[in-house]
Amino acid sequence: MSDAFPPLPPSGSTPPPPPPPHLPPPPGGGFAPTPQPPQYGGMPPAPPIYPPAGYTAYQGVAGGPTRPTAGVRNATVILFWVTSASALLLGLVAYQRGGVIDDFFSGDHSLSDVKDADGRVAGAFLLLLAAQIAAAVLIAIWSSRTVGNAKSRGADASSGLAAGGWFIPIGNYWVPWGQLAKAAGRFGKVPSSLRIWQALFIGQAVLSFIARVAVSDFDSTTSTDDAVSSFHNQGLLFLGTGVALIIATVFASKAMKEVDKLTTPS
C-alpha cells in the first residue's frame, strides 16, 4: 500500500470526528477569526477592589521640592543694616563738610581741608553704593527662591520678575513687590509688613534723590551762608535717608519671615 494514503482504521473502531466546519467570512471580507481553545488551569480574574465609604484620595502638592531661604534671607537683612549704617555715615560726613566749608570762608580751614572733606564724602558714598549693590543681589536671590517655592506649589507668580525687578529703574518700586504679594497671597493674607516695607523703600529713595541734588552749582552771586546751608541740608537729608533705611530694615526682616512662612513652609 502506498504511503500517500493514511492507513485505514481497524475494523470495529470508532471513526475520528469530522473536521470543524468552515466559519463564514465576516462582513466586508477577510478571514474569520480562528476559534481559541479553552484555557485550562488558569487563575480566575481578581475581583475589583473598591475603597471604603468616606475614603478620600491624597492630593499631592504640585511641583518639586522647595529651596531653602533662611540663610540668604538672614544675609540680606545683615546687608540692609550695613546699608543703613553707610547712609548714616554719609549724612554725618556730608554735614561736617558744610562746617569745614564755613570755616574755610572764615579763614580757619584751608582748601586742603575742604578737599579732605570732599574725599570723606566720596568714600562714604562709595561704601553706601557697594552695600546697596550687594544687598540688591541678595534680595534678588531671596526673591527668586521664595517666589519659586510658591510657584512650585501652585502660585501664579514669576520668580524671574521677582529677582530681576530689583534692577529695573523706577520699576523696582512695584515689580518685585507685586510678585512677592502674588506668591504670599496664594497661601494666605499678604503680610501688611510687606506693604509698609515697600512704602519705606520708596520714601528713602526719594530722600536719597533729593539729597544728591541738594547741592547745586554755585556761582559768584551765591552767598557764603547759602552755600554752607546747602551742604548742611544735604547732610541732614542723607541722615534722614539712613533713619528711613533703619525703619525699613525692621519691617523688611519681619516681612521676609512672614512671606517665607507662607511660601516655604518648614
**pLDDT (tens digit, 9 = 90+) per residue, 27-78?**
555 555 555 555 545 555 556 665 566 545 444 445 556 789 999 999 999 9
The confidence score (pLDDT) of residue 238 equals 96
In a domain, 25, yes or no: no
In a domain, 41, yes or no: no
| Total domains present in the chain | 1
Residues of the chain below pLDDT 50: 1-2, 40, 55, 57-61
The confidence score (pLDDT) of residue 109 equals 83
The answer to whether 152 and 63 have CB atoms below 8 angstroms apart is yes
The confidence score (pLDDT) of residue 163 equals 97
The confidence score (pLDDT) of residue 140 equals 97
In a domain, 4, yes or no: no
In a domain, 211, yes or no: yes
What is the signed CA dihedral for 35, 41, 42, 48, rounded to 10 degrees? Answer: 120
The confidence score (pLDDT) of residue 61 equals 47
- The reported pTM is 0.74
In a domain, 173, yes or no: yes
In a domain, 251, yes or no: yes
Q: Domain of residue 147: give its range.
A: 70-263
138-160 in b/e burial notation, b at 16+ Cβ within 10 A?
A: bbbbbbbbbbbbbbbbebebbbe
In a domain, 80, yes or no: yes
66-97 in b/e burial notation, b at 16+ Cβ within 10 A?
A: beebeebbebbbebbbbbbbbbbbbbbbbbbb
In a domain, 55, yes or no: no
